[in-house]
Amino acid sequence: RLLEATSFTLLVQDAELRGVLLGLGRESPLNIVVDPDVRGLVSADLANVSLLEILDELVTGRGYHYAVRGNVLRIFRHDRETRTYRVDYPTYTRKGESRVSLAGFIGADTELGGDVQGSTSTGDSSVSEIETSTEQDLWGEIEGAVRTIVFGAADATAASDDDAEDGDGAAAPSTSALPDRRVIVSKQAGLISVTAETRVLDEVEHYLQAVAESQRRQVLIDAQIVEVTLGDDFDLGFDIESAPKLPGNNVNGIFERLITPGLREATIAQSLAPVLTEGGISVGFAKDNFGLLLRALAKQTDVRVVSTPRVSTLNNHKAMIKVVRNRVFFVAQTETITPTQGVVQTFTEFIPTVIPVGVNLDVTPQVSEEGEITLHIRPSVSEVASVELQPKTNASQPQNGSLPVVDIRETDTVLRVPDGATIVLGGLVQSREFEQERKVPFFGDIPLLGEVLTGTSTEEQRTELLIFLTPTVLDTPRIARVTERLQSEFEETHALWQRRSLELPWWRKPLGQSYGAYR
């Protein structure tokens, strides 16, 4: 109250701070004591302000402190103190890289694009690719930022280089132009110790709190990968966006339309239209209607669920899901040795080649303060289409190896979605050719006669891959709800398994249950 009891008008230019403060003490109801460490020049033009406002501008703003005890106001330079901050984060460094490329042969000489994304061609070859690489070293970023706050940009770089030479878990104290300030980082213990003035320590604490708040955001990614068979009317795929174009739908969110509750799969199935031009699609709709859309698709064509992965990841951290089978192929490598005298010898070595075939999905979410999610998505689905015989170097030798022909469907995109919304990635259409045998029943199995009544035809089947993604920001209540829902699903599945196993005879029951091991 004494600091705000009197108003002052102050006009000084290049005046000693100690003299200004002592002069204010003569006009205020407080006795002022100024420590010898308080020094420097000050210029100010303040009118009708309290002593508290003057102290905030002239004292606190210059890194000094003040304290009131009774009727004595003491102004001093606060001694440096040491604070230890805890950083709960693993010490590893994560690196990720993804690439989508297309190579071919053309006859032009052009060059387009930049370092990361573009297309190039030279002579008779052409490559178009998108390459994305990430490196996450949160501890390195935090240490560099803290040193910048404490020492400044130039001194922080030099100090970081000196500490990197030590190579141990805890960074050594820094020697810089500010020898009284220290930064000690212990990654294994998850601690950062800083010695500096209170103002600097407050900045460090504010920065670490912001980092912790950002890293605390967690995202649950629910993926559904579905393959649908395309008929003659849907050669280029399904235009799923036509389904919401029905009366009573709301136009909201970042997507054009949403599927609203109350619609039946028959109504949506009638609205599904074929894609008129080639290209990918993306659409958002309510999570509760995911099964509704699948049933609508099933009314039009065959639907096969390829994979239903689910994963949680932190903010700005890549999550990878792989559901693959490692197919092994043996490639024959022949080596011929011609000695100076003697018979030419040929050696054949079989080299195993492992090719992963299946679903590979990596997603990197970024959550804004408003809860909006930006996703970098790269799905890839591969399968062995056929196996080609390895060419023989010598016609007299037997066939040794084989080479697989792998079909790959993948895409790489970045998009933004609201929390809890579902997006669809489509347009990944693939054609397969297979031979269909047709014969007259019964007569086609008769020797000799059956060959006349049996024929084969080559048919083409076109399929489209649809990827449904639902990112959800997980806070503490949502984590509890998700855990409860998963526990309920597990209990229902376990109860169903028990009911079905009770219906089996004893010799077909699981061994543990036959002896009463399951309860």
Given this model, what pLDDT does residue 502 score? 63
Sign of the torsion angle spanned by Cα atoms 137, 143, 146, 147: negative
Question: How does pLDDT run across 497-511, given as a tens digit for each residue?
Answer: 766 666 656 555 554
User: Please, how many CA atoms are within 13 Å of residue 35, restricted to the half-sphere of its CB?
Assistant: 13
Residues 312, 222: Cα–Cα separation, whole Å:
9
Q: Name the average pLDDT for the chain.
A: 70
| Residue 236 confidence class, pLDDT cut points 50, 70, 90 | very low
pTM of the model: 0.55
- Report the share of the chain in percent with pLDDT over 70: 60
Which pLDDT score is estimated for 193?
A: 92
Cα angle at 458 between 452 and 463, to 5 degrees?
150
pLDDT tens-place string over residues 382-425 = 888 777 776 666 666 655 667 788 888 777 778 888 888 777 77
Q: What confidence category does residue 318 fall into, taking pLDDT thresholds of 50, 70 and 90?
A: confident
Which of 91-95, 118-122, 198-202, 209-213 is predicted with the least confidence, judged by mean pLDDT? Answer: 118-122
- pLDDT band at 106; cut points 50, 70, 90: very low
Q: Provide long-range contacts, Cβ within 8 A and 24+ apart, for 99-104.
A: 99/129, 99/130, 99/131, 99/132, 100/129, 100/130, 100/378, 100/410, 100/411, 100/412, 101/127, 101/128, 101/129, 101/130, 101/131, 102/127, 102/128, 102/129, 103/127
- With a cut of 80, say whether residue 325 has pLDDT above it: yes
Beta strands in 286-401 (DSSP E): 303-307, 310-314, 319-337, 345-367, 373-389
Helix, strand, or coil here: 438? strand
Residue 69 CB partners (closer than 8 Å, separation 6+): none
Contacts of 269 (CB under 8 A, 6+ apart): 296, 297, 299, 300
404-418, 428-442, 452-466, 475-489 — most confident range: 404-418
Q: Outline where 249-330 has alpha helix (H).
A: 265-271, 290-300
Quote the pLDDT of residue 112: 30
β-sheet with 65-69: strand ranges across: 31-34, 72-76, 65-69
Strand pairing category for 31-34 and 72-76: parallel
The predicted-structure confidence for 169-206, as pLDDT tens digits, reads as follows 454 444 455 667 889 998 888 899 998 877 788 889 99
User: Given pLDDT bands bounded at 50, 70 and 90, which one contains residue 340?
Assistant: low
Q: Three-class SS of residue 158?
A: helix
Residue 144 has pLDDT above 80, yes or no: yes
The percentage of residues in the chain with a pLDDT greater than 90, rounded to a whole number, is 2
Mean pLDDT of all residues in 304-324: 82
pLDDT of residue 293: 63
Tokens describing residue 502:
């009770």
Regarding predicted confidence, which is higher, 187 or 239? 187
pLDDT at 512: 45
Around 356, how many Cα atoms within 13 Å sit in the side-chain half-sphere?
8
In angstroms, rounded to a whole number, what is the distance separating the alpha carbons of residues 160 and 162? Answer: 5
Tens-place pLDDT, residues 243-266: 443 333 333 333 334 444 444 444
